Each structure stands twice: as C-alpha cells, then as structure tokens.
C-alpha cells in the first residue's frame, strides 16, 4: 500500500497495528480494540515529536489503481480514439498537427492488436475505437484491475498479453499501457461484433474471465446495492480483492490530484472503486481521473447495476 493513504478516515477503518518511532525507540501498538481511532489516548503516549512509521489498514482502504502521470488515475476509454483523431488531423493539416513518437508507437500498436482479431479495414478500426470511447466504461474497470494485479510482475503480464505493461512517454515518465489493454480486451470481447458494445451487469464476470488471461476470476454482483456498508462488509470478509460500481445517475467531485470540475450525469456508468474518502464516500477511477462519488442512484433493473465484487486467483 502507498505510504500516503489518500482519504484516510480512522473512523471508517479497522487499524491492526501502528509502528511508532520516537527518540530512537520503536514501539508496536495493537489498537484494534480502541474504537478504531488514532488518538493520543488510544496510543497511551504523548504524540509530540512522534513519527508514525507505518499503519496497516484493511484491504478496503487500499488505493488499488496504479497512477502514472500526476493528475491521472487509471485508464481512460477515450485515449485510443483521441489519438486516432489526432492522426487524422495530422494528415489534414499536413503536419501542423503532429503526433509524438510515443503517440505514433501507440497508434501503431492499436492496429497491430486489432489485426489479431481480423479488424484491418480503416472503417472498422474507426468504428471499434469510437464504440470503445462511447461504451468502454465497463471494460476500463477491468483494465484498471488487471494493471494493478500485474503492477509488480510486468514479465508475467507481457507473457500473457504479448505487449509490455509499461511504456515511457514523451516526458520520460513510466506509464501503464492502459490503452493497449483496453483495445485488446474490447476487441476480443466483441468478436463476433455486437449491436451493443456496452458491458451488461449479467455478463461482467464473463467479460472479465475472457480478459484476465491465465487467472481464475469470479464476480459476485450485489444488484442495486451501492452502499458503503455493503462494500466494507464484503471487503472485510477477505474474499475479494477488487470492486466496481455501476450507477444510473451520479455526481462526482474531484479528488486527490484531480483538477477537473464537479461532474453530474444521468447516463449509466461503470467505475472502479479504489477506497473510501474522509467523507465516507467511494473513491473511484473514471475517465482516467480520481473522483469522490458524492451522489449515486442504483439502477431500477436487477440486471444493470450495483456493486461488483471481484476475486482473482486459484484460492477464490
């Protein structure tokens, strides 16, 4: 877990152990039974000039989305189409608009990946990338989870998927290849072509199993249930490593390094849950940014929305 735990609220967490350093001595305190709060009485010490070296939190407060470039948080389903459009503009403007070497490399990889699934005509490439932008939110939640699962094992990822987990962008920063994964998973999941490219709740597990190569995956759906308490109870059980949420109406407030404006939509949306905010709301990844889900409405149909609790590995 990252040392900087964003949105940490001790009232929402069970804290197992705190490691404290003061005056050269190290003290290990188990405060599981101290009303789940960090304070001077719970620790029974004077916190002046004390450094808390580490705090062990339950899984549901972990930040599970690898962040590459500052300000971004997880994958963005519009990235491939944006790069495709930029390439079209570069041709129209005769180079006034031009792609960086990083962008050219990624655009070329889109064509390589799509060709594996028989998508070679320019019209079909355009159609797939456009559909991905419009209907890719369910897929990007899966991409986010795959990126985190393999974040410390890029060799196994590349062996499974045939392309690297990381790249270096034009600024020399290491970035996750969310876009490669998205193009691959979206194309593979939509062979043969569908009339609707949206991931339905009832098929979320099937799409994830098809996307998560070489791993056993299971998904439990809590239909129409998007409550914090249900999420906490599920994650505390130890059965699940990840979770996603699908809502019909929602309101997002920028969180962490996100400088975007508050956002509201009445159109259904899938997002990856990454934690709980200090306000007791979900922290989510949406369109490549970190948000606090301050309002959410469940779907009216049991087939469409709720919490999606995800287990990965042989012992799930």
| DSSP state for residue 260 in the 8-state scheme | P
What pTM did the predictor assign?
A: 0.79
CA of residue 186 relative to chain centroid, distance? 16
**311 beta partners:** 218
pLDDT in tens, 237-280: 989 999 999 998 899 999 988 889 999 999 889 999 999 998 99
Who wins on pLDDT, 44 or 197?
197
Checking if the pLDDT of 28 tops 70, the result is no
Checking if the pLDDT of 187 tops 80, the result is yes
For residue 82, what are its two tokens? 């944006």
- Residue 267 three-state SS: coil
- What's residue 172's pLDDT? 86
DSSP E strands in 195-268: the ranges are 217-223, 242-247, 249-254, 263-265
**CA-wise closest residue to 58 among 17, 2, 19, 14:** 14
**CA-wise closest residue to 132 among 193, 54, 47, 52:** 193
pLDDT in tens, 199-221: 888 889 999 999 998 889 999 99
pLDDT in tens, 48-100: 554 434 333 444 555 556 666 666 899 999 999 999 999 998 888 877 878 89
- What's residue 285's pLDDT? 95
Checking if the pLDDT of 130 tops 90, the result is yes
Going by pLDDT thresholds of 50, 70 and 90, the confidence category of residue 137 is: very high
**Mean pLDDT for the stretch of residues 192-200:** 70
pLDDT-above-90 percentage for the chain: 54
| DSSP state for residue 201 in the 8-state scheme | G
What are the φ and ψ backbone dihedral angles of 168, each rounded to 5 degrees? -115, 125
């Amino acid at each position: 877990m990252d040392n900087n735990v964003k949105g940490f609220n001790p009232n929402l967490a069970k804290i197992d152990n705190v490691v404290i350093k003061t005056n050269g001595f190290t003290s290990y305190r188990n405060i599981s039974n101290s009303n789940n709060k960090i304070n001077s009485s719970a620790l029974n010490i004077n916190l002046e000039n004390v450094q808390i070296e580490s705090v062990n939190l339950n899984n549901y407060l972990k930040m599970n989305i690898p962040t590459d470039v500052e300000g971004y948080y997880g994958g963005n389903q519009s990235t491939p189409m944006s790069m495709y459009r930029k390439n079209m503009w570069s041709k129209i403007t005769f180079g006034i608009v031009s792609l960086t070497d990083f962008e050219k490399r990624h655009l070329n990889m889109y064509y390589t990946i799509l060709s594996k699934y028989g998508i070679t005509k320019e019209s079909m490439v355009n159609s797939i990338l456009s559909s991905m932008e419009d209907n890719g939110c369910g897929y990007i939640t899966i991409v986010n989870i795959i990126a985190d699962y393999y974040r410390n094992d890029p060799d196994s990822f590349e062996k499974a998927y045939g392309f690297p987990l990381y790249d270096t962008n034009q600024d020399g920063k290491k970035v996750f290849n969310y876009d490669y994964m998205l193009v691959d998973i979206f194309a593979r999941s939509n062979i043969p072509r569908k009339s609707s490219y949206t991931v339905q709740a009832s098929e979320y597990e099937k799409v994830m199993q098809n996307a998560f190569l070489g791993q056993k995956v299971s998904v439990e759906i809590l239909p129409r249930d998007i409550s914090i308490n249900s999420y906490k109870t599920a994650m505390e059980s130890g059965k699940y490593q990840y979770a996603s949420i699908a809502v019909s109406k929602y309101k997002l407030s920028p969180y962490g390094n996100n400088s975007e404006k508050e956002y509201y939509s009445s159109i259904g949306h899938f997002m990856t849950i990454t934690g709980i905010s200090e306000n007791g709301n979900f922290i989510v990844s949406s369109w490549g940014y970190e948000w606090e889900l301050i309002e959410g409405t469940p779907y009216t149909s049991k087939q469409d929305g709720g919490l999606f609790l995800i287990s990965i590995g042989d012992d799930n």
